[in-house]
Amino acid sequence: MIWTLKIECEWGRHLEEECIRMIEIEEESTLYDLHLLIQKLVKFDNDHLFEFFRGRHFKNRKPLFSEDAWDFDYEKAIDNYHQMTLNEIYPLPKGLKLFYHFDFGDDWIFKITKSRKKPKSPDKEVEYPQLIESIGPSPQQYPI
């Protein structure tokens, strides 16, 4: 099935304007697939560490693979990101949202929201994932 996701940049050291991307993506896509897609959508260089976490907001972190944020094993998380699919993440527990954190220095934080729209069957003539709406410019990863 195809889901609609809203990806919104909520924080970043150099964030100046609203940046929202609406996409359609296969529910079997992995978190690593989503990481690469976000990098492409906002024209980042994919040259820093990243993580996914859940929380009520981005300052309230609940790791996906460990209950203890201080017990985070990056290599194990990356392996999990290659295996865990979106349909294993959703539905999230009530009140929690999925976040993507890229570059632990500049702290780019994106909130990922699954649309309430009913999932649809894939269109054989469409290559997924696909961008369906873009609001605002991409943030500059390295402003001059």
- What does the domain layout of the chain look like in residue ranges? 2-135
**CATH architecture of the domain with residue range 2-135:** Roll (3.10)
In this prediction, residue 65 has a pLDDT band, given cuts at 50, 70 and 90, of low
Tell me the per-residue pLDDT of 88-132, one tens digit each, with 9 for 90 and over.
Answer: 999 999 999 999 999 999 999 999 999 999 999 999 999 999 999
| pLDDT score of 66 more than 90 | no
DSSP 85: B
For residue 59, the model assigns a pLDDT of 75
Least confident interval from 7-11, 39-43, 65-69: 65-69
For residue 72, the model assigns a pLDDT of 59
Q: What is the largest CA-CA distance in the chain?
A: 45
Contacts for 76-81: CB closer than 8 Å, 24+ residues apart: 77/51, 78/32, 80/31, 81/30, 81/31, 81/32, 81/35, 81/52
DSSP 64: S
